[in-house]
Structure 1
Amino acid sequence: MRTAAPLLTALALALTLAGCGQRSGPPASHPSPISSNDPRFLPLAVYDMPDDDGHTVGTARWTLAKECMTRLGFQGLRSLDIDPLPAWPRRPEGTGVVQLALYTSDDLRYGVQDPEQAARYGYQAARAEHEQSYPEKDRTLSEYLALTGEFVGEDPKSAHGHRIPRRGCLGEADRAIYGTNPQDRKDPVLDLETKSLQQGRRVPAWQVADRTWSACMRKAGYQYASPRDAEIGEDRQRQDLEERLTGASRDPDEPSVLEKRTATADARCKQETGYVGTVHAIDVRIQNELVARHRATLEAHRRWNDDATRRAEEILEDGS
């Protein structure tokens, strides 16, 4: 089950999956779905890395990365606490790059569903979940570059006289675990899950569900054609821009009152119209069809993950 994980974007950098395997390993409060009627149930998830294995891989990754960082001269990271696993490094602010994070979670595949959660987090529950699971740690620019190898412009390619490995110490660790860097390899599960949503939204029954949800939202005072439109919230983006232009200050990580109210109405309309049950059933049907057509590729991906988990276990056993 893939849980909250960020997709990081940075000026002059390609879109990169942050964590690269750290998508797994949710808190114990996330039990696996046991019924196909559970909206978290996804046929494709069977071929993804299990949560426990994801934690094992993440622990091995950071164990190796600490050794690499020490080798590069970052002696202070020798005792870096990796329990809980740190978040994937973010480039420090004020270093000439604008970096944005988009958080995703299987629990929110169809958008907000819990009015109480929406009233607290707006549309940012995935970010909050990720931050709770993987605490952010402040990094210097030199530490960030050595860990990730994500260079921009004139960034130094070495640290303390040592050449930074390709994709940094975390990339070096991934190659030891996976044999290659996951970023260089297409993730068939993620790809097919995306295709399933794209195909599902073209199904007439899904479109009817969108219109029924939209009618409910109009009664609540909101004009959105679909839950995706509500989550993007172009009207809220305009309001935020106007507030900034007038000098109003607000924590950008804190959802606005309007966002919370919109998300709460969104979740309530999903419950009142049975939206999630309808679209989930369509999603499951399409995913089953995709699994049947791509079973060999998916099985190879599962074996790839299993092999990585075994190597990670060996790494941790050798270091114990």
Structure 2
Amino acid sequence: MRRFLPLLPLLLLAACLALTACGPGPGPRAADPRPLPSGDPRYRPLGAYDTTDAEAAVLGEARWTLAKECMRGLGFDSLRELKVRPAPPWPRRPAGTGVLTLEVVVSDEFRYGVQDPEQAAAHGYRSPAAEDARHRPRRQWTLPEYLALTGDFVGDDPRTVHGYPIPARGCLGQAERRLHGGVDPRDRTDPVRTLSDQALREARRDPAWKSADRAWSACMRAAGYGYATPQDAQEGRDRREAELKQRLSGGPDADGPTGQEKRAATADARCKQRTGYVRAVHAVDVRVQARLVAGHRGELERQRARVREAVRTARAVLESR
């Protein structure tokens, strides 16, 4: 499952960067819906309750269909021809408005970190799909369009456009409420994501996982890195200064991975392969997830029912247009 999480605006105030709140991404993208063998690193017991690719596509198209209608109601007739299949990426605040935005992608594809040395050498700690999306042409929204779509206000941003008040969380937020029975899913805890995060925290405390971390760390030391865990390598505190300088440089690939990141990620992936890291930690993760599913089955089934109902609503929206 891949989630394009809210864009993270960084306010440039008095030469310092301040992190602000943000809106949601286009939604989850589940793994291949075909059943996976339990030994496949992509297999997750919680995956049975997650949103599928097909469902996410329907929800995304309906979300943007409704948002486009809302925007036209606010006076943005220029969006009449906006294509909504596939759903556009989540809007980015336009450059030059006092805010630097970073797009964060959380993906179960990287649940255990980078695994392919060739991909790591090319993309660092970014997934190839996320890098492809980053380089793909995307619509450049004006500030009024962005605010009307997202309702992500900063400072003195206007709360109206063309004399109309912007809906709470913008036209996209209004669309989400329409699809999800009047409740924005951002205001409701997602038990799949919550339990998935809990499983990872618990699994990392398991002796078998810690043993895998130690074997990986020893391999990384031989490669010249002092990271204790793959999470430390991915976080890369020793790379932050170089990465920030690159992002603020304004160059053609300012948001891309640095050379330092690519080299660290490549060593990381090689050590995972040499030590059998992914196989070891996946077995622990599956065991913990299975236990959590057994203890929260009712909650998970209710969440699955909510998603199915939202998809039915989305299909009705699309069929009526």
TM-score by length of 1: 0.90
Alignment partner of 1:24 out of 29, 36, 60: 29
The DSSP-based 3-state class of the residue aligned with 1:289 is helix
Inter-CA distance 135–314: structure 2 relative to 1 (3 Å threshold): farther
- Equivalent residue, structure 2, for 1:89: 91
Write the distance in 1 (CA, Å) between the matches of 2:294 and 2:253.
46
Write the distance in 1 (CA, Å) between the matches of 2:259 and 2:221.
19
Write the distance in 2 (CA, Å) between the matches of 1:259 and 1:158.
42
Inter-CA distance 153–39: structure 2 relative to 1 (3 Å threshold): same
Write the distance in 2 (CA, Å) between the matches of 1:244 and 1:160.
34
**1:209-248 residue pairs with structure 2 within 5 A?**
209-240=212-243
The number of residues matched between the two structures is 311
- Equivalent residue, structure 2, for 1:3: 2
- Per-residue deviation at 1:242? 7.1
Alignment partner of 1:35 out of 15, 27, 37: 37
Write the distance in 1 (CA, Å) between the matches of 2:178 and 2:75.
21
The DSSP-based 3-state class of the residue aligned with 1:267 is helix
The CA RMSD over aligned residues, in Å, is: 2.3
- Per-residue deviation at 1:220? 1.2
- Aligned: 1:204 with 2:203: no
Q: In 1, are the aligned partners of 2:23 and 2:150 still within 8 Å (CA)? A: no
Write the distance in 2 (CA, Å) between the matches of 1:107 and 1:281.
16
- Per-residue deviation at 1:95? 1.6
Inter-CA distance 116–294: structure 2 relative to 1 (3 Å threshold): same
Q: In 2, are the aligned partners of 1:25 and 1:55 still within 8 Å (CA)? A: no
- Equivalent residue, structure 1, for 2:178: 176
- Equivalent residue, structure 1, for 2:101: 99
Write the distance in 1 (CA, Å) between the matches of 2:29 and 2:155.
32
- Per-residue deviation at 1:258? 1.9
- Equivalent residue, structure 1, for 2:71: 69
Match of 1:77, as an amino acid? Answer: L
Match of 2:74, as an amino acid? Answer: L
Match of 1:128, as an amino acid? Answer: E
- Equivalent residue, structure 2, for 1:14: 21
Inter-CA distance 243–139: structure 2 relative to 1 (3 Å threshold): closer
- Per-residue deviation at 1:163? 1.4
Q: In 2, are the aligned partners of 1:4 and 1:129 still within 8 Å (CA)? A: no
Q: In 1, are the aligned partners of 2:246 and 2:254 still within 8 Å (CA)? A: no
Inter-CA distance 107–244: structure 2 relative to 1 (3 Å threshold): closer
- Equivalent residue, structure 2, for 1:300: 302
Q: In 2, are the aligned partners of 1:118 and 1:267 still within 8 Å (CA)? A: yes
Stretch of structure 1 that moved more, 119-128 or 266-275: 119-128
Write the distance in 1 (CA, Å) between the matches of 2:149 and 2:289.
36
Inter-CA distance 68–239: structure 2 relative to 1 (3 Å threshold): closer
- Per-residue deviation at 1:284? 0.7
- Equivalent residue, structure 2, for 1:122: 124
Write the distance in 2 (CA, Å) between the matches of 1:242 and 1:154.
28
- Per-residue deviation at 1:94? 2.3
Q: Deviations 1:35-59 (Å, cap 9, x if unpaired)?
A: 1111111111111111101100100
Q: Deviations 1:9-54 (Å, cap 9, x if unpaired)?
A: 23563354423xx22278xxx5756211111111111111111011
Write the distance in 2 (CA, Å) between the matches of 1:145 and 1:192.
33
Alignment partner of 1:50 out of 52, 69, 84: 52
Write the distance in 1 (CA, Å) between the matches of 2:79 and 2:66.
12
Write the distance in 2 (CA, Å) between the matches of 1:63 and 1:81.
9
Match of 1:8, as an amino acid? Answer: L
- Per-residue deviation at 1:234? 1.4
Gaps of 5+ in 2: 10-17
Q: In 1, are the aligned partners of 2:217 and 2:227 still within 8 Å (CA)? A: yes
TM-score by length of 2: 0.90
Stretch of structure 1 that moved more, 84-93 or 137-146: 84-93
Match of 1:23, as an amino acid? Answer: P
The DSSP-based 3-state class of the residue aligned with 2:28 is coil
